[in-house]
Structures are given as structure tokens and as C-alpha cells.
Amino acid sequence: MITDFLINFVPFSHDELNDILPYFKKEKVKKNEVLIKEGQVCSKLYFVDQGIGRSYYLKKDGKEVTQWFFGVNNFMSSVDSFFQQSPSFYYLEVLEDSILYSITKKNMDALLAKYHNMETFIRLLTIDTLAKFVHKLNAIQFQTAKERYTYMLAEFPDISHRVPLGHIASYLGITQETLSRIRKNDSH
């Protein structure tokens, strides 16, 4: 639940939660639905209640590159686009029928201005996100294809077998043929 996620970072009061939570609107989204396209400004921040999301972009040759996966109980968005209101470099889509809770930038700004705790929450959330990106960067920068896949399994244990192999391969910066061969060898 989104409440648990919030209070896990910051001790919001009951009154604060009662004011904040209604701004998150429930959205049911069908598999493969695209939430944001490249170039659009991301106007909502999503919380994944059920399902899986991913962000990706297209290389010049048209190939998709997955940038991130968003599992249950995670916020999903094109972070910099949402907070900086700049055109998104990424597409955002769901990979399964999903239930999301979304809040608009406008409402988020109001909450940030109103509640010091909300600022703290977003600060901590961003630092957490930053730490995850740093972790991925380390995995990608100097590890072999096999080690990268090991990182993937650790970072996204619940996701690694529910999404197409090609999405994972591009997330890891390797080809799907290579990943297929890694999986084959892994299963002894």
C-alpha cells in the first residue's frame, strides 16, 4: 500500500496522510499501454500497486532500450521530466494489466509547498532512486554480461522471469542472443 510506503520513509501524521492520500487517483491500465511518449512532459507520478512498468527509449536505429523496470510498491515516472517538467527522453509503459495510483505535478507541488514532510519524503525517495541508478551504473560499467545478469536477478527478483528476455537484455546493455546463452549455461 502507498500509505506504508510513505510512512516507511517519513513519519507523516494522520492528518497529513488524510490530506495527501486522496490526491492519488487509482488508474487501471491495460497491458502494453503507453503512459508517456518521448518528448512529452511527464505530468503525473505513478505508484505501482499491481503490475509492472518499464521506461525505454529508441536508439537511432529504432531499437528499444529498456532504461528501468518498476515493480509493485515503487514509484514510476520519468523522474527528471516530472520534477523538472522537461520533455521526457523516455517512453513509459506497463507490461501487464496494472493498477496504478497517480498524482499530478500540480497537486504534488501544492503538497510539497504545504508540508515540510512531503519535501523530506521526495528528497529521500530521490536519493534512494539515485542510489539504485548508481548501483546499476556500477554493474553495467565494468562487469561481464553474466555478472550483469546476476545483478538483474538481485535487483529485480520478482520481475526477471515475467518480462520478455529482450527487454532485460537491452536493460543490461547486451543482446538478447547473449542473454539467452547466459541463461542456458546458468541452468547448468
Partner DNA sequence: CTTACTTTTTGATATAGGTCAAAGGAAAAT
Partner DNA sequence: ATTTTCCTTTGACCTATATCAAAAAGTAAG
The answer to whether 138 contacts DNA (rule: CB under 7 A) is no
Return the SS3 of 167.
Answer: helix
Total of chain residues touching DNA, rule CB under 7 A = 17
Best CA proximity match to 75, nearest among 44, 99, 48: 48
The answer to whether 65 contacts DNA (rule: CB under 7 A) is no
Among 134, 137, 180, 186, binds DNA (CB under 7 A): 180
Alpha-carbon distance of 98 to 52, in angstroms, equals 7
N residues, the chain: 188
Give yes or no for a contact between 50 and 108, defined as CB atoms under 8 angstroms apart.
no
Alpha-carbon distance of 5 to 73, in angstroms, equals 7
Distance of closest approach, residue 77 Cβ to its own copies, in angstroms: 11
Nearest to DNA of 40, 166 (CB atom): 166
Alpha-carbon distance of 23 to 158, in angstroms, equals 29
Interface of this chain with DNA, residues 88 to 117, rule: CB under 7 A: none
According to DSSP, the residues that pair with 70 across neighbouring strands are: 53
Among 144, 154, 157, 186, binds DNA (CB under 7 A): 144
Residue 146 interacting partner from its own copies, DNA, none (CB closer than 5 to 8 Å by kind): DNA
The answer to whether 85 contacts DNA (rule: CB under 7 A) is no
Q: Which residues bind DNA (CB under 7 A)?
A: 144-146, 164-166, 173-181, 183-184
